[in-house]
Amino acid sequence: MYRIGVDVGGTNTDAVVIEGKTILAAAKSPTTEDVMTGVIDSLKKVIDETGLDKSKVSAVMIGTTHFTNAVVERRHLSKTAAVRLCLPAAQCLPPMVDWPEDIRDEVGNIYWMAKGGYEFDGREISGLDEDELTGIAREIGEKGIKSVAVCSVFSPVNDDMERKAMEIMAKVLPEADFTLSSEIGRLGILERENAAIMNASLRELSHKTVGAFARALESVGLTCPYFITQNDGTLMSTEFVQSYPVLTFASGPTNSMRGASFLSGEQNAIVVDVGGTSTDVGALIKGFPRPASTTVDVGGVRTNFRMPDVYSIALGGGTKIQTDPLKIGPQSVGYRIFEEGLLFGGNQLTTTDVAVGLGLADIGDAAPAKALGEETLTEIKAEIDQMILNAVERMRVSPDPIPVLAVGGGSILIPDMVGDLPVIRPEHFAVANAVGAAIGQISGEVDRIFSLDGLTREEALAAARKEATDKAIAAGAKPESIELLDQEDVPLAYLPGNATRIRLKVVGDLDG
């Protein structure tokens, strides 16, 4: 049986066909505004290349940086209502207080704080007020907002109030999408709420995107199940991604790192993935991305769901360049490089133009870039090299001369040495993300507080593991293949009843 991995980047859409450990075919097509055409083009290419029997494809795995890019570029975000259940607590810092202004404006900076929320031990801070929530829902309706994020204090311990608040508001807003913070983040209300609001602002885009993927697969005659990859290198169903688009955040870097490891055989390295819009730098430890130990910024917003430790900079193959004064990015022409880039007859100078102008790559027409003069081009390239070096140095974990794995469609921008580190460009490097997607597994995760009164630590861990395993099986994992990926228990200081927070994740192979 074959697996197809697809990666939709800001600029290119890649596809690979793998069988076991062998890559049978790889193809690359431009990402299109409708997403679908690009997916269809690259799928057609790999299917034609291999003369694949479509009935023998067991699954298609799609990785997409679509949602991350939407946040980073502040595009396609829907106006969102944030409702925090907390009063009288937690009013000193309103929702979105620590967001950069531009993205806060983009999602509307619309919020309410209402009665509700729990204490750490499950007592109510105050009861839900149905009239208050109905009034808020009416105001949301009047503003024409269709996506609502609900966040209650201590919802990771008890999510009842978030659910009840959703039911109350849904009576007034039957068409609205609700995102509950307890389903996304961990303890730490600001970061979890941030993640929930961001998720809510992406729901409309996720409906469109998932629908487009389904139509794309159908149109090339693939009838197998398809999955979207999430940021731990595992897979989610399409229903799931429509509800939780933020879980795709950083799935691109995860896929590219796992793919780069698979392709190069290197287990410890720095991976630099240059896409069309951004460059992601991560560290591979034993073939897996090093996880971020603390909160993670997405487009300048702090969030706290589990992610790989990735440092992103706004530098890609389609990044716009101003020459006077020199300014690289942060905007990118993305997939419109084929219309707007100088090398394709457009009038926007991009990083790829610079690479082509310096003879580092041979695509399109180098003449318009060359017209800038070698001195200017060299100056710009030096600035680009410095941006890459800074990012690599930031992620480097030791003075050891571990290799830099250069992947992604824009990796022609990476010099042969980054500082003192040698650069390896693995075979199929341009489609590492798609390979990483194709090798995705199914996971199950638990993150909540257990009381150790009448329960030993080992019993609590076993209970958590059982819960995670059941989740993984329900999501489509082969029971006998399930193993523990990661487990962590943190005792909570100053709390009675020996409360401990257990985070645990299992992974298994996709059944079929």
Partner 1 sequence: MDKLREVFDEDLDALEIGAAILGTGGGGNPYIGKLRCREELKKGRRIEVIPLDELPDDALVVSLGGIGAPVVGVEKIEEGQECLRAMRALEQELNVKIDALISSEIGGANSMEPMLTAAQAGIPVVDGDGMGRAFPEMQMCTWSIYGHTSTPAAMADEKGSIIVIRKTRDEVAVEKFARANVVTMGAAGAIAMNPMKGDFVRRAAIPYTITQALELGRAVQKAHREHLDPIQTIMTQEGGRLLMTGKITDLERHLKGGFAVGQVTVEGFGDYDGQTGRIDLQNEFLIFRRDGVVEVCVPDLIVVLDADTGLPITTEVLRWGQRIAILALPSHDLLRSPEALKVIGPAAFGYPEINFNPMPAKGS
Summarize as ranges the residues that interact with partner 1 (CB under 8 A): 86, 88-93, 97-98, 117, 119-121, 123, 125, 153-154, 187-190, 285, 293-294, 393-394, 396-399, 452, 457, 488, 490-496, 498, 500-501
Give the residue carrying structure tokens 């999408």. 177
Please list the alpha-helical segments (H only) found in 147-286. Answer: 160-172, 189-219, 238-243, 251-264
Which are the contacts of 238, defined by CB distance < 8 A and separation ≥ 6? 210, 213, 214, 226, 227, 228
Burial code of 103-116, b = ≥16 C-beta within 10 A, e = fewer?
A: bbebbbbbbbbbbb
Give the residue carrying structure tokens 């819960």. 467
Query: Closest approach of Cβ 379 to partner 1, in Å?
Result: 21
Cβ proximity to partner 1, 186 vs 381, nearer residue = 186
Cβ proximity to partner 1, 90 vs 507, nearer residue = 90
Query: Closest approach of Cβ 169 to partner 1, in Å?
Result: 23
Residue type, 215: R
Give the residue carrying structure tokens 């310096």. 358
CA–CA distance, 421 with 424 (Å, rounded to integer): 10
Query: Closest approach of Cβ 353 to partner 1, in Å?
Result: 29
Query: Closest approach of Cβ 87 to partner 1, in Å?
Result: 8
Cβ proximity to partner 1, 367 vs 417, nearer residue = 417
Quote the tokens at residue 404: 């830099």
Residue type, 385: D
Query: Closest approach of Cβ 94 to partner 1, in Å?
Result: 9
Quote the tokens at residue 230: 């999430």
Cβ proximity to partner 1, 330 vs 419, nearer residue = 419
Query: Closest approach of Cβ 489 to partner 1, in Å?
Result: 8
Cβ proximity to partner 1, 268 vs 481, nearer residue = 268
Quote the tokens at residue 200: 């809510």
Cβ proximity to partner 1, 99 vs 227, nearer residue = 99
CA–CA distance, 469 with 247 (Å, rounded to integer): 19
Select from 334, 352, 332 the least CA-distant residue to 343: 352
Cβ proximity to partner 1, 158 vs 264, nearer residue = 158
Query: Closest approach of Cβ 452 to partner 1, in Å?
Result: 8
Query: Closest approach of Cβ 152 to partner 1, in Å?
Result: 10
Cβ proximity to partner 1, 49 vs 489, nearer residue = 489
The distance of Cα 353 from the centroid of its chain, to the nearest Å, equals 28
Which residues, listed in sequence order, are joined to residue 280 by a DSSP beta bridge? 273, 312
